[in-house]
Amino acid sequence: MSKDTLIASLRSQCGGPRDGALLRYALGNALLDAGDAAAAADELRHALRFDPRYSAAWKLLGKACLAADDRAGAAEAWRQGIAVALERGDKQAEKEMTVFLRRLERTDRG
């Protein structure tokens, strides 16, 4: 399945009975993979409106923001994601986002 076909298929499900955090996460991931970071960030924010405790969505939102050259947005997404991961006991996501945030802060200072 091509990227465009996948994105179209996922978009066709938005607003329907299967719409939710997982669908929007998948759409955001597909859009990011296709190089549309701004649209990916929008869909990931939509996923987080469905489930603000979705650690993986926070992590990917940070990556999408960074790819869209929104460094402040990336840092904020990762900070919120770290807080969510800590609350949920999601150690792996917490560690990954902490590393991403430190790298970003280091390059902003450097």
**Which tens digits make up the pLDDT trace of 15-27?**
999 999 999 999 9
- Let me know: does 37 contact 22? Beta carbons within 8 Å: no
- Let me know: does 29 contact 53? Beta carbons within 8 Å: no
CB atoms within 10 A of CB 59: 24
The answer regarding whether domain 3-109 maps to CATH 1.25.40.10 reads: yes
**Which tens digits make up the pLDDT trace of 25-82?**
999 999 999 999 999 999 999 999 999 999 999 999 999 999 999 999 999 999 999 9
* Residue written as token pair 């997404």: 77
**Which tens digits make up the pLDDT trace of 93-104?**
999 999 999 999
Residue 1: pLDDT band (50, 70, 90) is confident
The residue extents of the domains of the chain are 3-109
pLDDT at 12 over 80: yes
